[in-house]
Structures are given as structure tokens and as C-alpha cells.
Structure 1
Amino acid sequence: MRKIILAAIAVLAFGGVAAAQNFPSRPVTIIVPFSAGGPSDAMARILAERMKVTLGEQVLVENVTGAGGSVGVGRAVRSPPDGYTISFGHLGTHVANGAVYKLGYDLVTDLEPVALLPSNPMIIVSKKAVPATSLKEFVAWLKAQPTAPTAGTAGAGSGSHIAGVYFESITGIKLQYVPYRGTGPAMNDLVAGQIDMIVDQTSNSIGQVRAGNIRAYAVTDSKRVESASDIPTVDEAGLPGFHMTLWSGLWVPKGTPKDVVAKLNAATVDALNDPAVRKQLENLGLQMPPKDKLTPEALGAWQKAEIAKWWPMIKAANVKVD
């Protein structure tokens, strides 16, 4: 009996190694926890198109929305740990949500990091009807409103929500948050004049700013964005220190073989090193991560550091699910 058990274990172990060696043998799916058309979706689709070249299989994007992205992340967590399901996320989904929602999973221990992705500073934008033409004028306009100005977010705890809370704490302005299933639909309402403002990802807003459909006041960084060099930084515009960068990353379910994680990491790094991909991402206002930060270990360490940084502020602001 002991020999049979040992033989069975050996077969299972060999099968796992063989599966990892043959990975991938069918399409891989990236779960984006926000609606199609938003900044996360755009980045994931650009990367997926190039990752398939390295992997030799199609890389599909599936949009699974709800609860500030926590529904989509949960779908990935509960998927088989075989590398065929990847969780795309960012500061909101893989850091802030742990301080806002009762998730039913642990953002650190139930996921394996794959690679850090490009990031972008936020940008303070308003509907076109707002008369302000500078950040100082916009802050004054917000303070003069008889009721709380409306700010679009991708849900409680999302990057746009955290940025809004941060904006409130610095300016003393009270905002009324309007949650959406992503900043894509939030932007649609901003263009339509249904909400007053968003502290948004630059990559989501820059196209509408260039088209003249919304107003931009400042980027939340100490340096200007190359693709939008005419927009001042918050330091230049009169709100010094309001710095926030929304970074993104890829994860897989806990227990995914290390060889598979390594293959997914290599495909991601190859994509980020492709000049055509870099140009597409940089045109969206995204900033490439340093080369020494592209390992799974670097993403894991960064995620933990961001949890230590942001959770206290989120909890102190008593951010709750809407």
C-alpha cells in the first residue's frame, strides 16, 4: 500500500511539473475588475495583445465589475492556481479594498505577485461648465457651492475615491461621492455634466482633456507628465504635497507553480520592453516602472508597503461601502 501511495504522489508531482513545463497550452484570461473602456481595461488590453507573442497563446481580457473591483479580484482568487487566470489590479483593488470591504480573501496571502505595471499620477478634472481655469480658482469654486460638490469614483475604496478623500483632507472641502463600476462610466457622466469633478487617473482623462470636453487643473505629482506637459503639477498650481500615483500590477491565485509565475512575468516584461507597447502606454500618460522593480518579489514588497501606508489613512477617514 505504501508503494502505491508513493507512486501516486510521484505521478501527481510529475504531472504538476509537466503542466508547468507545457504552460500555456490554451488561452490565458486576465480579469480586469472594472468596466470596459476605462484606464485599467485599456492597459490590460494593450499588454494582453503583446503577451500572447511571448506565451504563444491568446491572452483574453474579461471584465468582472462590482464592489470597487473586489468582485473581480475574488473571481481570480477562487480560480485554479494554474496560471490561466490572472488578476489585474491596482492601489484600489489590491491595497485599499482590504481596509474597506469584508473580502472573504486576503490580498497578500491568497495571491501570488507576478509583475508591477506602469503607473500614472492622478489628475484633477471637472466638467466643462465649471468657470474656473486654474486649480486655485477651482478650489474656491468648490468651496462656494451651496451643497457638497459631486465627485465620481470607481466605488468605495477605489483609487479615485482614495484620491478624493486625500483631496478633502488637504483642502477642507466636503465632497459627495458618486460611485460607478469604473472610472470609464464616471468619465462619461463628467463629460455630460452630470457630476462636478473626478480626481482621476491621467490615462483615463487625458483624451477628454485634449478633446476639450473637460477641464484639467493639475497632476498629483512633483513633476509634469510628458504626454501632458502643459498641465501643471499640484505643487505649481497651489496645492503642494498632494501627491498620489496609481500603480497597477498582475497577480495569480496562491499556489500557482513558480515556473508558471516566471513565464507570466517574462511575458509581461517582454511586453513592457516592446517599443510599440511603451509608446502606447506613455501616450496614455503612464510611467514605466524601473527595471529592478519588475520581479514578482518587488511587486510583493511594494504591495505590503502600500498597505502599511494607506490603510491607516483610509480607516481614519472612516471610508465605508456606499
Structure 2
Amino acid sequence: MNPLLKTLAPVALAAVATVGAHAADFPVKDKVVSIVVPFAAGGPTDRVARDLAEALRKPLGATVVVENAAGAGGTIGANKVAKAQPDGHTVLLHHIGMSTQPALYRNLPYKTMDDFEFLGMVNDVPMTVIGRSTLPANNFAELRTWMNANKGKVNLANAGLGAASHLCGLMFMEAMQFDMTTVPYKGTGPAMTDLLGGQVDLMCDQTTNTSGQIEAKKVKAFAVTTAKRLSTPALKDLPTLQEVGMKNFEVTIWHGMYAPKGTPAATVKKLNDALKVALKDPEFIKKQEGLGAIVVTDKRLEPAEHKKFVAAEIAKWGPVIKKAGVYAD
């Protein structure tokens, strides 16, 4: 054997053994598992993460905490995980932004499909088309009539560039073939405040943000964006956008879990196994249903299928975003 190779062989074997040991030991005793949320505390993704953290503690046998790393539309938190030590103790919970950021950001600091290990999907969150309580319309047909009578005057609120409400709004305008004045805000909170106050007309946003306002009759609800009607009491009477004539209109704001690229396969399996157990937790399911979210039970729970799904979503949203001409540096 080459003397150099002879010298390096034990080192290489030791490195492999160390990685294997770390994978086998995961989670390390007395070391927390951090779920990084790339948005501010109190938002819909943060709520999902905190519910998930509780459900993961038992199957992982570890303390699970939520760490908020907000900014730049979720890219700061995602990049933090992409660059983290790949030992399973730092994971990411992100929503549909994982599939829209490649088109929205010219200088994305990571490669979505290459820099993460995909751990499995968590939930699907439907969207609702809602309006200010003072709108004269009370159903979708009346809304369409009112919009046509007010061309050039209708405005549509969103929570900022790349937000779920922004993306849904883009698709809604395209499907309606109706131009509206979009009004971006710095978050869902201020957007909803102005909708409640009657300063803006419409918004398309997640049930996690709208269900309570709909139930309290503080806003008017016109439709849901899912393929089938929802069973949630506050939303069960709302038609789907497909029912009112928008073929193939289906938008859900899903959440998935990720680890840094290079996380050992054994650790990825432990995280995936724990996620599958957590998503069957009755308390977690109850909390998600209360938010109008649907816990994932299909093949997207498998890492490979999760990755395939995100790739399809990137292909779906890229043309929509490029057509709208919206970009961030």
C-alpha cells in the first residue's frame, strides 16, 4: 500500500466511525433539538412549530425548543439551518416559501434542493378569500358583480412580498382576469387590521389567520382555495373557487421540516420516525384542526416524496412569480 494511503486510512476510518457514533447517539443527552422558524414569534408558522415541538419531545426523547430567526422573507432562518452543524439538533420548519424563494430572490444564499435533507411534510393550510365587513356583496356571485362595477377601484391587501397572502392574491387576480391594486404590509397583523377597519377591500389568506375573524363575523368570507369544501364549522358553507368557475384553482400553504445537508442517514430516519409519531398525536391534531390546518397523512411524510413535492411546487410557482415581475434582492 502507498505509504501516504496507509497513513490516511486509519484517519478516514476514525472519521467514519465518529459520524456513525454521532448518528447512533442522536439525540445527544442533555442537548436540545432546535426547530428554527424563519418568521417572528406569534405568526402562523410559529404556532405550528410550537405545537409540533410539544408533540416531538416524547418520540425524540429530547427537549425540543423553537428558535425564531426572522427576516428577508424567511431566507435568514432557512440559511441559518443550511449552514448549521448537520447533527440533527438544528432543523427548519418552513412553509410554501421554500418553493417560492428561488424565483423571488435573485441572490438566495442557499440552494433549496441541494442544501437540505428533506424530513417530511407536516400540514396543509387552506386559504380563504375574505373582504371587509362593509362590502355590499354577501356571496361570490355578488362579489364578482361588485368588482366588475368597480374596475380600477378594488384593492387587495397582502402581508408582504412572497407572503402566502401575496402569492394567493397573484393567482386570484390571474384566475379572475381582473387587475386590482395590491397593498403590501409588513406582516399579516397590520394587513388584517386595515381590512377590519375597512381601509382595504379584500385579502386571500390562510385559515390560521382568518377562521377566528370569519367566525366572529368581523369580515365577510367568499370562498376557499382547496379542491373540496372544508369541514371546519366556520368554513363549511363556503364554496371552493373551483365551484365558482376557476378551474384547477388550488392553493394550500403547507409546512415541511428540514435538516442541513449531510445530516447522517440514521439521524434523518430518527427525525422522520419521530415526525410520523408526532403527527398522530391527538392533541397535535386537535390544535391543528383548531387552526383550520390539515395534518399530512399521505406519502409526503417520506423524505423522498417530500423533496419531490417541493420540486413540483417550485415548478408551479416560478412562472406565476416571473409573470407578475416581483423580485427581491
Tell me, yes or no, whether TM beats 0.5: yes
Counterpart of 1:113?
118
Structure of larger gyration radius: 2
Aligned match of 2:298: 291
- Specify the code of the residue in structure 2 equivalent to 1:7: P
- 5 Å matches for 1:268-287? 268-287=275-294
Match of 2:321 in 1: 314
Shift of 1:51: 0.4
Q: Distance in 1 between matches of 2:199 and 2:90?
A: 36
Matched, 1:56 2:61: yes
What's the counterpart of residue 135 of structure 2?
130
**Structure-1 residue corresponding to 2:32:** 27
RMSD, aligned α-carbons: 2.2
Which stretch of the first structure deviates more once superposed, 305-314 or 49-58? Answer: 305-314
**CA–CA distance in 1 between the matches of 2:148 and 2:38?**
34
Q: Distance in 1 between matches of 2:153 and 2:73?
A: 22
Query: Number of residue pairs matched?
Result: 321
Contact 1:49–1:59 (8 Å) recurs in 2 = yes
1:97 paired to 2:101: yes
Match of 1:10 in 2: 13
Query: Which stretch of the first structure deviates more once superposed, 293-302 or 56-65?
Result: 56-65
Paired position in structure 2 for 1:255? 262
1:128-207 aligned within 5 A: 128-145=133-150, 149-207=154-212
Shift of the 154–10 alpha-carbon distance from structure 1 to 2, 3 Å rule, reads farther
Contact 2:103 2:327 in 1 (8 A): no
**Local SS of the residue matching 2:294:** coil
Per-residue deviation, residues 263-321 of structure 1 (Å, max 9, x unmatched): 11111111111122112212222223233321111101111112222212221222223
Q: 1:218 to 1:314 in 2, by over 3 A?
A: same
- Larger deviation: 73-82 or 194-203? 194-203
Task: Measure how far apart 1:49 and its partner are.
Answer: 0.8
Output one character per residue of 1:11-51: Cα deviation in whole Å (capped at 9) or x when no partner: 22222111111111211111222222222111111111110
Distance 1:215 1:205 in 2: 10
- Displacement of 1:95: 0.7
Structure 1 residues 146-201: Cα deviation after superposition (integer angstroms, max 9, x where no partner):
75544333432233212111111122332333444543553344334443322111
Superimposed CA distance per residue, residues 220-258 of structure 1 (whole angstroms, 9 cap, x where no aligned partner): 123111112122222344545432122221111111111
Return the match for 1:303 from 310, 320, 327.
Answer: 310
Distance 1:252 1:152, change over 3 A: farther
Contact 1:68 1:154 in 2 (8 A): no
Deviates more, 1:131-140 or 1:98-107: 131-140
Kept in 1, the 8 Å contact 2:115–2:260? The answer is: yes
Change over 3 Å in CA distance of 1:15–1:211 after alignment to 2: same
Q: More deviation in 93-102 or 120-129?
A: 120-129
Give the 3-state SS of the residue equivalent to 1:273 in structure 2: coil
Distance 1:233 1:156 in 2: 25
**CA–CA distance in 2 between the matches of 1:129 and 1:290?**
39
Partner residue of 2:237 out of 212, 230, 233: 230
Distance across 1 between alignment mates of 2:32 and 2:189: 26
Matched, 1:72 2:77: yes
- The 2-side partners of 1:168 and 1:196 are apart by 14
User: Residue 273 of structure 2 aligns with which residue?
Assistant: 266
Contact residue 35 and residue 184 of structure 1 kept, 8 A? no
TM-score, length basis structure 2: 0.89
Does the aligned pair in 1 maintain the 2:279–2:296 contact within 8 Å?
no
TM-score (norm 1): 0.91
Aligned equivalents of 2:158 and 2:88: distance in 1? 31
Structure 2 letter corresponding to 1:16: V
